[in-house]
């Protein structure tokens, strides 16, 4: 059986692994995400060391974004307008491909996590679902008829505009591009800026959580009305606050007002809006799944 490499490039850390799936991870490492040169250099070093004993059929890269995920674009495989200092317009896929000499699959971290959840996790066997990760940023992926949505580029579900009552919540938002988009209101940095401390330090009964649940429910109602997914998976660091799930479910039902009259959104809501099945491993497992996809979805070969 071919062996795949996976890279989950996050804003603070990068996870690399080798294997074929959740029950077969043969090596892994966590690397701080610092400068592109240092981080990519350590990634290459890890995989080169592994390849001394066993070849890799391909490597998948699941990265923070935005990215150029259009295989027909000359800048496919690049991180584009990220606010992360030093990383804008980094050709991460091209460098990894040249240095390792292997085919490279490439997509956003959230699209890859959705792919992993579909293959092995909470959306296994479900061809129409939404995956949303709520953490340092907010990213979303949607699968329709078994295929991840890509259009002009990958979806940007974290940057939708939702109702913001500034009288009740005067926080201006943390997004450097849009201020009070969804990410600007409920991401980890937004919580820290609004409340003066990191979200994981806030107690379960803090006023932050009903507000987060309200904003996320507003977003989910929009996704439901547009895409009608069969399941919604909510992951990321903020969603480790499990008291959010019942609040979000109740508000989604209230906001829909009975209009979408299907069992999943009524008595089945607990099984409709769910946490990931793969936990924190979804991203790197998704990268391995990217590596295993057909060659048409991989980074085109580039001259050295």
Tokens 């040249």 belong to which residue? 98
Closest CA to 227 of 276, 157, 277: 157
Tokens 């800048």 belong to which residue? 75
Supply the pLDDT for residue 190. 96
Range 228-231 contact pairs with CB under 8 angstroms and sequence separation of 24 or more: 228/128, 228/260, 229/128, 229/129, 229/130, 229/142, 230/126, 230/127, 230/128, 230/129, 230/264, 231/122, 231/123, 231/126, 231/129, 231/130, 231/264, 231/271, 231/272, 231/274
pTM (2 d.p.): 0.91
Please check the confidence at residue 217 and state whether its pLDDT lies above 90.
yes
Helix spans in the chain (H): 36-51, 92-100, 109-120, 182-186, 188-195, 208-227, 244-256, 282-292
Q: At 25, list the tokens.
A: 């991870």
Q: Predicted confidence band at 84 (pLDDT cuts at 50, 70, 90)?
A: confident
Q: Are strands 24-32 and 13-21 parallel, antiparallel or unpaired?
A: antiparallel
Closest CA to 82 of 44, 36, 116, 115: 36
Q: Predicted confidence band at 297 (pLDDT cuts at 50, 70, 90)?
A: very low
Task: Give pLDDT tens digits for 122-178.
Answer: 999 999 999 999 998 899 999 999 999 998 888 999 999 999 999 999 999 999 899
Strand partners, 132: 140, 234
Supply the pLDDT for residue 304. 37
Q: What is the largest CA-CA distance in the chain?
A: 62
Q: What is the DSSP letter of 63?
A: E
Are the C-beta atoms of residues 154 and 106 closer than 8 Å to each other? no
Task: Give pLDDT tens digits for 190-207.
Answer: 999 999 999 999 999 999
**% pLDDT > 90, the chain:** 87
Supply the pLDDT for residue 44. 98
Q: Round the average pLDDT of the chain to a whole number and report it.
A: 93
Closest CA to 170 of 193, 187, 138: 193
């Amino acid at each position: 059986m071919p062996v795949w490499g996976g890279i989950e490039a996050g804003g603070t850390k990068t996870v690399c692994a080798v294997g074929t799936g959740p029950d077969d991870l043969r090596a892994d490492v966590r690397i701080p995400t610092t400068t592109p040169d240092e981080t990519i250099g350590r990634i290459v070093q890890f995989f080169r060391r592994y390849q001394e004993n066993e070849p890799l059929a391909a490597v998948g890269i699941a990265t923070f974004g935005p990215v150029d995920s259009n295989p027909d674009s000359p800048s496919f495989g690049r991180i584009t307008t990220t606010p992360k200092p030093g990383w804008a317009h980094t050709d991460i896929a091209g460098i990894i491909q040249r240095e390792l000499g292997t085919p490279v699959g490439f997509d956003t971290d959230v699209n890859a996590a959705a792919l992993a959840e579909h293959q092995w996790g909470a959306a296994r066997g479900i061809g129409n679902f939404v995956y949303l990760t709520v953490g340092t940023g907010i990213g979303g992926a949607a699968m329709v008829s078994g295929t991840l949505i890509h259009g002009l580029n990958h979806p940007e579900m974290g940057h939708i505009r939702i109702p913001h009552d500034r009288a009740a919540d005067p926080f201006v938002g943390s997004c450097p591009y849009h201020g009070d988009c969804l990410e600007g209101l409920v991401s980890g940095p937004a919580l820290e800026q609004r409340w003066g401390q990191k979200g994981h330090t806030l107690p379960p009964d803090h006023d932050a959580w009903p507000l987060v649940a309200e904003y996320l429910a507003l977003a989910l109602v929009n996704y439901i009305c547009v895409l009608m997914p069969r399941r919604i998976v909510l992951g990321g660091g903020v969603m480790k606050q499990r008291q959010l799930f019942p609040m979000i479910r109740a508000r989604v039902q209230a906001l829909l007002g009975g209009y979408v009259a299907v069992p999943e959104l009524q008595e089945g809501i607990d099984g409709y809006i769910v946490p990931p099945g793969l936990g924190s491993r979804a991203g790197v497992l998704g990268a391995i799944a990217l590596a295993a996809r057909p060659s048409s979805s991989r980074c085109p070969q580039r001259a050295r």
